[in-house]
Amino acid sequence: MDRQCQLRVLRAGDLNTLCSTQSISAPCVFALICQELGPDRARELLGIDATGHPFNSVMAIVSTPTHTGNPLVNAGALAASSLAPGDTADEKWDFFQQGLSRFAGRLLELDPEGHSSEAASNTRKREIAGLLESHGRSFFDPILATDTHTRQCALRVSAQDLAMIGATLAEGGLNPVTGDRVMDAVPCARALAVMAMAGLYEHSGGWLYDIGLPGKSGVSGGIVNLAPGKGGLVQQPASISAADSQKDRLGQAEVLVALSEADRFGLAHGSLSVAFSLEGTLHRR
């Protein structure tokens, strides 16, 4: 039975500046694939374990049993993009755009300039996609799958959008504002587990040790932290040039988490940031 919850929104800074989703979209993409294939099949095809290597490591592709590592590193994220339902690249792209939009509670639009720029410079991702194909781990044309992945990373989002996405994941697939049941709770739980293990790649262990919440960083400078069953907390700089270093973001997150209470968490710190906190009682049949 869905949670009956009261929505609390805490804001600081400019919530409406748009940036691209980048790899912050990856946990939602994995959850969507889990919903389609089932968590066990998704685990078999994409892997779930931390690689201990950087996000774009070729060594991890060669050395891990699945050759994908997990759905949050480049190899696993590209493989996940290739698994979307649909016979064409446009159908796969529509699946992800609509799914991510339901997480955010509004239609997320593509940044055409950002997409064009990334598509012109994603040589490494194309190489990884080709390597995946050689290992039988690309489940669609690797070039088209790479473009689908590039587009899902170039959706325009604000800090508030990212917080809504996080809150929906944390609430087990229920969007707390629209009331839309985006997906079942189990795929979201699996995505949270992978975030805890690999959301900050080779630094994930340190992040979880110090912060205690699953997190996912993105090259645009943002980071999403999730408190399962409670809400999403986002730090988002005004621009990539203003993005804090990982060490600075770690310090900010420590402050934010320290402000939490037993049954909710709040935020009051620094740059562009927003949190959705969900409170309520779980009613069972």
Q: Angle at Cα 279 formed by Cα 275 and Cα 283, nearest 5°?
A: 140
Query: What pLDDT score was predicted for residue 282?
Result: 27
pLDDT of residue 204: 87
Q: Which residues of the chain have pLDDT under 70?
A: 1-14, 237-285
pLDDT at residue 2 in the model: 52
How many angstroms separate the CA atoms of 34 and 187, rounded? 5
- pLDDT the model gives residue 63: 87
**Amino acid 47: pLDDT:** 94
- CATH at 154: 3.40.710.10
Output the pLDDT for position 14: 66
CA atoms within 13 A on the CB side of 20: 20
What would the pLDDT profile of 159-186 be if each residue is shown by its tens digit?
A: 889 989 999 999 999 998 899 999 999 9
**For the segment 230-271, what is each residue's pLDDT rounded down to a tens digit?**
888 887 765 444 334 444 554 445 444 434 433 344 333 332
The 10s digit of each residue's pLDDT in 9-23 is 666 666 778 888 999
Show the domain range for 173: 4-281
pLDDT reported for residue 240? 44
HSE, side-chain direction, 13 A CA sphere, residue 242: 10
Domains in the chain: how many in total?
1
